[in-house]
Structure 1
Amino acid sequence: MADRVSASIVLGGPLTAPEYAELAEIIAEEGLSIEWDGEPFEPTHRTVGQPLSLYAHEVAWGQFEVLEVFCVERKWPFVRWSGAYPGQWGPERAVFTGEGQPASYAADEEDHILVDRGTIERLGLIEAILDHFDAADFTVPPLVIEGDPGIAPA
């Protein structure tokens, strides 16, 4: 049985209507809601012009594996926070900007980014440490579906 914790994810980027339908199916399969302990996600739950924020408790290994892979393959940015599982792992924030691979940052249970001595020594200069915090503080763009009202086509 998998170790399970609470986790959240914010995702965005441009999608076609068929892509959104596929995304909505994956979100439903993951058992996500637009609020903690909320009703199961429905495609109409999103707010036009905003990134999509999703939440769940009892998330296996603190990751939305299928959803995250789906987003990485399509280069859709996301930020995921997951809580700690005592004795196994600490809380983390995973950031995917739409390029490369997701980056992992140590966090606390309130999703504040933390750095330990080893990270400070590795990064060295204060500018590099501040860049580390800035990278972890990535702002996810809105989730835009082709044909959204008031949004010009790309």
Structure 2
Amino acid sequence: MADRVSASIIVGGTLNAAEFDELVDIIASERLAIEWDGEPFEAHHHVAGEPRSLFAHEVAGGSFDDLESWCLSHRLPFVRWCGGYSGQWGPERVVSTGDERITSYAVTEDDEVVISRSKIEMLGSFEAVLAHFDTAEFTVPPLVVRGVDADNPASHGGRHVQ
């Protein structure tokens, strides 16, 4: 059985309605909630003009493999945090700015970026260290559903709120 920890992800970027429906299905398959110990995400939880934050406990390996792969292939920016698993891995923040790449950062259990002496030496300058922190603090843009959010903020993708 895989090691399991708590994890969260914030997703942003721009999708069309059909892609949003795919995203909703993937989020459902990952059993992600709208808050810690909250209700499962559904399409009507989408809020126009905001990124989507999602949460889960008991996440195998601390990552949402299907969701993250889908976001990478659709060039959606995201930031994921996962707690550490004693003896296996430490807490981490994974950042993807929508360019099909991810960067991992060491963090505390409270999601505060930390840096080792060897990393400081590798970066080589105080300015580079600050840049490292700046890139780790990437702000995920809103999740926008083209043709839906601007026209009707109460509807979400191909699935409409009643």
Number of the residue aligned with 1:125: 125
Deviating beyond 3 angstroms after TM superposition, the runs of 4 or more aligned structure 1 residues are: none
1:57 partnered with 2:53: no
**5 Å matches for 1:37-116?**
37-116=37-116
Separation in 1, partners of 2:45, 2:113 = 29
Query: Distance in 2 between the 1:122 and 1:150 partners?
Result: 49
Matched residues in 2 for 1:106 and 1:115: separation? Answer: 7
2:134 is paired with a residue whose SS is helix
Shift of 1:149: 2.9
SS in 2 for 1:109: coil
Which SS does the other structure have where 2:23 is aligned?
A: helix
Who is 1:34 aligned against?
Answer: 34
User: Which moves more between the two structures, 60-69 or 40-49?
Assistant: 40-49
Per-residue deviation at 1:100? 4.1
Q: Which runs of 5+ in 1 are unaligned?
A: none
Letter of the 1:90 partner, please give it: G
SS of 1:75 mapped into structure 2: coil
SS at match of 1:93: strand
Aligned to 1:149: 150
Q: What is the distance in 2 between the residues matched to 1:111 and 1:146?
A: 32
CA apart distance, 1:45: 0.7
Give the alignment's TM-score, normalised by structure 2.
0.91
Q: CA RMSD in A?
A: 1.1
User: 2:140 is matched by which residue type in structure 1?
Assistant: V
Give the paired residue count: 151
Shift of 1:47: 1.3
Q: How big is each residue's C-alpha offset from its partner over 1:54-112, in whole Å with a ceiling of 9 and x where there is no partner?
A: 00000010000000000001110000000000000000000000114100000001100
Kept in 1, the 8 Å contact 2:52–2:142? The answer is: yes
Please give the secondary structure, in 1, of the residue aligned with 2:22. Answer: helix
**Structure 2 CA distance, aligned partners of 1:150 and 1:97?**
27
Query: How many percent of aligned residue pairs carry the same amino acid?
Result: 58
- Residue 20 in 1 paired to residue 20 in 2? yes
Give the corresponding residue for 2:155: none
Give the Cα–Cα distance (whole angstroms) in 1 for the partners of residues 114 and 16 of structure 2: 37
Native 8 Å contact 2:14 2:76 kept in 1: yes
